[in-house]
Amino acid sequence: MLIDRIEARKNPTKHTLVALVENKPGVLNRVASLMRRRNFNIESLAVGTTEDPTVSRMTIVIDASRTNAALVERNLYKLVNVIDVQDVTNLPTVVRELALIKVRVSDAQHRGEIKQIADMFQSRIVDVAKESVMIEVTGEEQKVDSILNVLQDYGILEVVRTGRIAMTRG
């Protein structure tokens, strides 16, 4: 199952939209409602604050094989609280995702191996417990996919991924 999802993620039909929206109550609801109402398929939606406290930034990833990204863009743009939308898919962009992964450890040897894997992916172990460790990994989705793939054999207990955030270069 995980592998299927990883395969799907390699699909180049993903479009990344960056929307600047007014930081007002209910705006996330308006965006989510639009997606549901127009039957747009979104893969991930990440929201956060920006340098301007009155503005929030949304990074929306769309499966363009099922949804016309240009229509999403135009419909988003119609929302009164949306200040700007940009499809950054084909622009030089830094794309990141953060994931926390809890992996089962049954003995000290495993713990050592997992530490090595974490190092190879330039990620960190942020929590160590008797029967598990937690890894924090940052990077493009493929990197997160890869480490998940490698860790699968040890038994992944829990995963959380933030979804993609993006910023154009320069």
Closer CB to other proteins, residue 5 or residue 77? 77
Spatial contact of 144 and 97, defined as CB atoms under 8 Å apart = yes
Cβ 166 to other proteins shortest distance, Å: 18
Who's near 93: CB < 8 A, 6+ residues apart?
16, 166, 167, 168, 169
DSSP states along 79-92: STTEEEEEE-TTS-
Under the rule (CB under 8 A), what is the footprint of other proteins? 21-22, 25-26, 29-30, 33, 37, 68, 70-71, 73-75, 77-83, 85
Cβ 35 to other proteins shortest distance, Å: 11
Closer CB to other proteins, residue 66 or residue 74? 74
Closer CB to other proteins, residue 15 or residue 99? 15
Closer CB to other proteins, residue 72 or residue 99? 72
CA of residue 164 relative to chain centroid, distance: 3
Cβ 34 to other proteins shortest distance, Å: 8
Taking the CA atoms of residue 11, residue 91, residue 17 and residue 68 in that order, the dihedral angle to the nearest 10 degrees is -60
How many Å apart are CA 67 and CA 168, to the nearest integer? 23
**What residues are paired with 87 via a beta bridge?**
17
Cβ 24 to other proteins shortest distance, Å: 10
